């Protein structure tokens, strides 16, 4: 059975990336719920479809490690597979719930883990493709099946006979003699049933089913609006002169994008999903920078074709109602109860401690930028102007160049993407864990430029298959993430097939793919998620890979970023793509010296989004949720209340395009920095114990990466470091220590 929350979230988020998003300072990044049939209703009949041999989703893939048959699966296969999968699983569940045998761990809990294999296989593939390579047909299927999958989940978790068996076992769990992983599985199932409403009255359960169905529809509409508007609101530029300052490869890419839209002779700058847009760091044309910024922040707002404000209002009202029904004061309290943070107070306290020094740092940085603006304008004999959000990245890049005497264009020739992957990311994994990698071209892919590798353990046995999807495209959601097409577990004897997705602009044909330093660290970050999936060594699908609390899942991937600039690793991959010359030490020294540069901005924009998320989800009554025309006023008031409303630094995401919190990261955007506390502590431990060594890698793999969710996350951290987390290393890293 898919992780119990998986079906409830996949339809809303459009990709199985829970626990697999990139760090918010890089490119960001995640399962779903039919109004359910009446209790104990018969399973829905499968849609009339081709015979099993004609639908590859009706059986496990015959390819190595059940690698998906991308070349044989078409969109028309998904609906019949979903229908048959739901029917099969409800029949399997009915056998368990209606059994006349007394409940046992094996005939109830393990039996539930074994259900739903057709549905698991088909939804995993479908929602992975919706994130990586969507199209109109997939959007229609997603919209159609989101509420059906929501109802299917409810039909399972609100089945009174099934819950009675689970509760019977839970109540006498101390007498069952279960091993730790079995006991944890029983406890987690009981918790999931209760959180799904199994203890509610029939009337409340009926209403809960309506809420879940509506939330699934709204989440799908929100995510599809965001993707559609990112493509639709791309900025069209008439002349090359307006693009002055933009790197040549970016200009060429903008010309290619214009041709694709039949705008020959013009240039198209596609928007990324964040508020800030990367070209703003380079464009000398201030008016164009302003156009980019204003197009970005207008997304999803009142009056435009993809207005999300009404959807936001409806989602928040339904979430408040759902939380109240389940006995929580607000949705954040419900969401956090099974995370490592546990309470809204814990999250508020941490964010509250970070916000004042972050804003103070941002204001100091702004003073430097304003001084540079004034100096340049005076030298030109022109009136100065006030620093605005669209000016920040441009002048920050100038200040960085002035202070540290380098810019991104100096670094990129040393960071060719495939070389970074194979001689940097893979090299570090070999040194730490003894892994080796071999590219293969015989397996099918869903896009021709996707890379596939076999992954081998030190003893020569194959551990996993790894997929790397590098490039941005209109059919792909923004950000960076990891997903598992197949997860490891001993119950079925499956091995991992995991994928990393980036959004690097694709260069013109024949040109190398040169990355920024942020893109490089993002590649290392996402591979940390991949390692978490590949090293999984658990019995049950429920606990596999990255199936850990949301505020813990970013921790291992953030740790893996440390190897990007580790001297031995860097020396192996940071080489000029034409000459093979190593990156000069003085250039690297400048990169490292500038590591905390602009940290006030980065932390403030992140905290703005994280605190905005908490404000939305700590609303305590349906009546307090603003209507559509009050959404942006609520956002402004929330930022002001928390002291994070610094106009030159808007939140990394504004509410109408904040996809994280409308899906799997609802009340959870704080988790990146919560995980970074654990990461900073762990990096200090590794450095103190010898750095890039097999001993450290093996310890991290054995005590943490291989355990998935089979043990409490806080205990896993202590197992590795030997102590509780401390905030000091994070403050030091981000330059937020008291001045």
pLDDT of residue 739: 61
In angstroms, rounded to a whole number, what is the distance separating the alpha carbons of residues 155 and 168? Answer: 20
CA dist., res. 192 & res. 2, Å (int): 13
pLDDT number for residue 38: 30
- Model confidence at 273, pLDDT cuts 50, 70, 90, reads confident
122 in Cβ contact with 2 (< 8 Å): no
> Cα-atom radius of gyration of the chain, to the nearest Å?
25
Query: Tens of pLDDT along 350-374?
Result: 999 999 999 999 999 999 999 999 9
| Predicted local confidence at residue 26, as pLDDT | 41
pLDDT at residue 157, as a whole number: 97
**Number of neighbours of residue 690 by Cβ within 10 angstroms:** 10
Tell me what pLDDT residue 592 has: 80
Residue with tokens 């119950």: 491
> What is the per-residue pLDDT for 79?
97
Say if residue 50's pLDDT is above 60.
Answer: no
- Phi then psi dihedrals of residue 135, to 5 deg: -155, 180
Long-range contact pairs involving 395-404 (C-beta distance under 8 Å, separation at least 24): 395/369, 396/281, 396/365, 396/369, 396/597, 396/598, 396/601, 397/281, 397/282, 398/372, 399/368, 399/369, 399/372, 399/597, 400/594, 400/597, 400/598, 402/372, 403/594, 403/597, 404/590, 404/593, 404/594, 404/597
Instruction: Report which of residues 733 and 322 the model is more confident about.
Output: 322
Closest CA to 542 of 466, 480, 487: 487
What is the rounded average pLDDT of the residues 9-30?
37
Rounded CA gap, 288 and 279, in Å? 10
Closest CA to 540 of 476, 587, 487: 487
For residues 275-302, average pLDDT: 95
Q: Which of 493, 499, 421 is nearest to 133 (CA)?
A: 499
Quick one: average pLDDT of 446-465?
Answer: 97
What does DSSP assign to residue 389? H
**Is pLDDT of 32 > 80?**
no
Residue 451: φ, ψ to 5°: -100, 145
pLDDT digits (tens, 9 = 90+) for 140-154: 999 999 999 999 999
More confidently predicted of 298 and 25: 298
CA-closest candidate to residue 209, choices 258, 148, 125, 119: 148
DSSP H or E run through 364:
helix 344-379
Whose CA is closest to 532, among 545, 515, 522, 518?
A: 545
CA gap 47, 716 in Å, rounded = 45
- Hey, which residues does 468 pair with through a beta bridge? 451, 500
**Running DSSP on this structure, what letter comes out for residue 451?**
E
pLDDT classification of 339: cutoffs 50, 70, 90: very high
Helices (H), 656-735: 671-688, 694-700, 713-721, 728-733
Residue 299 confidence (pLDDT): 94
HSE-CB for 491 with a 13 A CA cutoff: 21
> Which pLDDT score, from 0 to 100, does residue 14 have?
33
> What is the pLDDT of the chain when averaged over all its residues?
91
Q: What percent of the chain has pLDDT over 70?
A: 93
d(CA 732, CA 105): 48
| CB 505 within 8 Å of CB 470 | no
Tokens, residue 234: 């791309």
What would the two tokens of residue 553 be? 């899942």
pLDDT at residue 394 in the model: 96
Q: pLDDT by residue (tens digit) across 145-184?
A: 999 999 999 999 999 999 999 999 999 999 999 999 999 9
If DSSP codes are grouped into helix, strand and coil, which group holds residue 43?
coil
What pLDDT score does 533 carry?
A: 98
Question: Strand 462-471 to strand 451-456: parallel, antiparallel, or no bridges (unpaired)?
Answer: antiparallel
Q: Going from the N-terminus, what domains does the chain have, and what CATH number goes with each? A: 6-225 (1.10.1370.40), 233-297 (no CATH), 344-385+602-669 (no CATH), 412-593 (1.10.1370.40), 675-733 (no CATH)
pLDDT at 44 over 80: no
Quick one: pLDDT at residue 1?
56
Closest CA to 564 of 534, 594, 592: 592
Hunting for tokens 């099918």 — which residue is that? 444
Q: Which residues are catalytic?
A: 526
Q: Does the pTM exceed 0.75?
A: yes
CA distance 128 to 447: 13
CA separation for the pair 185, 154 (Å, rounded): 20
Distant-in-sequence, close-in-space partners of 471: CB < 8 Å, separation ≥ 6: 447, 449, 502, 503, 504, 505, 506, 513
Q: Each residue of 151-187: b (16+ CB within 10 Å) or e? A: bbbbbbbbbeebbebbbebbeebeeeebeebbebbbe
Q: By percentage, how much of the chain surpasses pLDDT 90?
A: 81
Residue 592, helix vs strand vs coil: helix
Least confident of 34-43, 267-276, 347-356: 34-43
SS3 category, 49:
coil
Tokens representing residue 679 in the block: 């990461």
* For range 419-447, the mean pLDDT: 98
Size of the chain in residues: 739
User: Residue 231 CB: number of other CB atoms within 10 A?
Assistant: 13
Query: Kind of pairing, strands 451-456 and 497-504?
Result: unpaired
Can you give the pLDDT at residue 39? Answer: 30
Q: What is the pLDDT of residue 478?
A: 82
Q: Quote the tokens at residue 242.
A: 């307006």
Q: What is the pLDDT of residue 228?
A: 87
Cα distance between the two ends of the chain: 52
pLDDT band of residue 479 (cuts 50, 70, 90) is confident
The pLDDT tens digits for 54-109 are 899 999 999 999 999 999 999 999 999 999 999 999 999 999 999 999 999 999 99
HEC profile of 472-523: CCCCCCCCCEEEEEECCECCCCECCEEEEEEEECCCCCCCCCECCHHHHHHH
Mean pLDDT within 242-246: 96
pLDDT of residue 123: 97
pLDDT for position 407: 78
Report the greatest alpha carbon distance in the chain: 89
Average pLDDT over residues 393-398: 94
DSSP state of 471: E
pLDDT of 41 strictly over 80: no
Distance of CA 95 to the CA centre of its chain: 36
What is the number of alpha carbons within 13 Å of residue 238 lying toward its C-beta?
A: 0
Q: How far apart are CA 210 and CA 217, in angstroms?
A: 11
DSSP letter string, 245-305: TS-HHHHHHHHHHHHHTT-TTSEEEPPPSSSS-GGGGT---HHHHHHHHHHHHTTT-TTST
| Relative orientation angle of helices 550-560 and 517-534, to the nearest 10 degrees | 120
Phi, psi of 593 (to 5 degrees): -65, -30
SS3 content of the chain, % helix, strand, coil (to 5): 55, 5, 35
Rounded to an integer, what distance in angstroms lies between the CA atom of residue 250 and that of residue 382? 30
The pLDDT tens digits for 255-272 are 999 999 999 999 999 898
- Answer yes or no: is pLDDT of 193 > 90: yes
- pLDDT class for 597, splitting at 50, 70, 90? confident
Whether the Cβ atoms of residue 667 and residue 617 lie closer than 8 Å to each other: yes
Burial of 401 (0-12, 13-18, 19+ CB in 10 A): middle
Looking at residue 318, its pLDDT comes to: 98
């Amino acid at each position: 059975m898919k992780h119990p929350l998986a079906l409830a979230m996949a339809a809303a988020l459009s990709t199985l990336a829970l626990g697999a998003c990139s760090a918010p300072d890089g490119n960001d990044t995640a399962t779903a719920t039919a109004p359910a049939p009446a209790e104990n209703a018969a399973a829905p009949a499968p849609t009339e479809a081709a015979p099993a041999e004609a639908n590859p989703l009706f059986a496990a893939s015959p390819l190595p490690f059940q690698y998906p048959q991308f070349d044989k699966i078409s969109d028309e296969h998904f609906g019949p597979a979903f229908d048959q999968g739901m029917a099969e699983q409800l029949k399997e569940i009915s056998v368990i719930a209606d059994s006349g045998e007394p409940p046992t761990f094996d005939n109830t809990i393990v039996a539930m883990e074994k259900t739903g294999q057709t549905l698991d296989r088909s939804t995993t593939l479908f929602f992975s493709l919706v994130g990586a390579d969507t199209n109109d047909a997939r959007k229609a299927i997603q919209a159609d099946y989101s509420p059906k999958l929501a109802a299917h989940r409810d039909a399972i978790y609100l089945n009174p006979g099934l819950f009675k068996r689970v509760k019977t076992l839970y109540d006498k769990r101390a007498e069952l003699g279960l091993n730790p992983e079995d006991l944890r599985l029983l406890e987690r199932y009981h918790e999931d049933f209760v959180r799904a409403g199994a203890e509610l009255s029939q009337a409340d359960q009926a209403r809960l089913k309506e809420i879940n169905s509506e939330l699934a529809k709204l989440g799908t509409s929100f995510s599809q609006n965001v993707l559609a508007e990112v493509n639709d609101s791309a900025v069209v530029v008439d002349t090359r002169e307006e693009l002055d300052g933009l790197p040549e490869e970016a200009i060429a890419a903008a010309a290619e994008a214009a041709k694709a839209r039949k705008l020959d002779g013009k240039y198209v700058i596609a928007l990324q999903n964040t508020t800030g847009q990367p070209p703003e760091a380079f464009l000398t044309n201030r008016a164009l920078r302003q156009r980019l910024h204003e197009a970005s922040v207008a997304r999803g707002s009142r009056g435009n074709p993809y207005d999300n404000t009404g959807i936001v209002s409806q989602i928040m009202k339904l979430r408040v109602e759902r939380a109240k029904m389940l006995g929580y004061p607000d949705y954040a309290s419900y969401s956090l109860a099974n995370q490592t943070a546990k309470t809204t107070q814990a999250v508020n306290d941490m964010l509250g401690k970070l916000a004042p020094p972050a804003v103070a740092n941002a204001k100091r940085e702004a003073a430097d930028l304003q001084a540079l603006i004034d100096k340049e304008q005076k030298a030109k004999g022109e009136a100065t102007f006030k620093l605005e959000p669209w000016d920040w990245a441009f002048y920050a890049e100038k200040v960085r160049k002035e202070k540290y005497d380098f810019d991104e264009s100096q670094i990129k020739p040393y960071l060719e993407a495939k070389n970074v992957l194979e001689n940097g990311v893979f090299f570090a994994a070999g040194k730490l864990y003894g892994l080796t990698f071999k590219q293969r071209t015989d397996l099918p892919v869903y896009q021709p430029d996707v890379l596939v590798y076999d992954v081998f353990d030190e003893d020569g046995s194959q551990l996993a298959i790894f997929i790397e999807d590098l490039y941005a495209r209109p059919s792909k959601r923004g950000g960076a993430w990891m997903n598992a097409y197949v997860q490891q577990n001993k119950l079925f004897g499956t091995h991992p097939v995991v994928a990393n997705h980036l959004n690097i602009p694709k260069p013109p044909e024949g040109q190398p793919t040169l990355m920024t330093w942020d893109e490089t660290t993002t590649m290392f970050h996402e591979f940390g998620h991949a390692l978490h999936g590949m090293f999984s060594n658990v019995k049950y699908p429920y606990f596999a890979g990255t199936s850990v609390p949301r505020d813990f899942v970013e921790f291992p991937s953030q740790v893996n970023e440390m190897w990007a600039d580790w001297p031995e690793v860097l020396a192996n991959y940071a080489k000029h793509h034409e000459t093979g010359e190593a990156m000069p030490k003085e250039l690297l020294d400048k990169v490292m010296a500038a590591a905390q540069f602009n940290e006030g901005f980065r932390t403030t924009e992140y905290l703005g989004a994280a605190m905005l998320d908490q404000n939305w989800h700590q609303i305590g009554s349906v009546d307090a949720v603003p209507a559509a025309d009050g959404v942006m006023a609520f956002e402004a008031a929330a930022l002001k209340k928390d002291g994070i409303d610094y106009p030159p630094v808007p939140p990394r995401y504004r509410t109408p395009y904040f996809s994280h919190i409308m899906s799997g990261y609802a009340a959870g955007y704080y988790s990146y920095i919560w995980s970074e506390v654990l990461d900073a502590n762990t990096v200090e431990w590794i450095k103190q114990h010898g750095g890039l060594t097999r001993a450290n890698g093996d310890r991290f793999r054995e005590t943490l990466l291989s355990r998935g969710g089979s043990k409490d996350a806080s205990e896993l951290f202590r197992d590795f470091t030997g102590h509780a987390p401390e905030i000091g290393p994070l403050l030091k890293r981000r330059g937020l220590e008291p001045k």
